[in-house]
Amino acid sequence: MHELGICDAMLKMVRGIMKDEELDAITRITVEVGSLSGVMPNFLADCWVAVTDGTELEETEFVIEELAGTAKCLDCQREFVADLNDLSCPVCKGKKLMPLTGRDLTLKEILVP
């Protein structure tokens, strides 16, 4: 339950921001999920609903933006958009790939009323 831990941490972070900025409510939270982060966006959304159920953030809109990750082939040095369903180089079919981007999950934006 990787996603549940992430949502828990995110909730704490958002609450910290609310306290620091003296906010009573948040309209919308946007998170950016890299396709190579190992996080399933649908699952993340479900977990967010679970951790915020009955809290002051229950009504907050939760938006997930997916960011396509890129990888580099260590055999032919090409860089390409990585497809998690086919982890091989589109040029030489090599399997030695190094992820470049898309491994992160970031809290991108918090919209206040």
List of residues contacting Zn ion (CB under 5 A): 73, 75-76, 89, 91-92, 94
**Closest to Zn ion by CB, 68 or 76:** 76
Closest distance of CB 99 from Zn ion, Å: 14
> Residue 5 in 3-state DSSP?
helix
> Which tokens in the block code for residue 11?
């909730």
Count the helix, strand and coil residues of the chain and give each as a percent rounded to the nearest 5: 25, 30, 40
**Closest to Zn ion by CB, 2 or 93:** 93
> Residue 58 in 3-state DSSP?
coil
**Closest to Zn ion by CB, 15 or 78:** 78
Closest distance of CB 79 from Zn ion, Å: 10
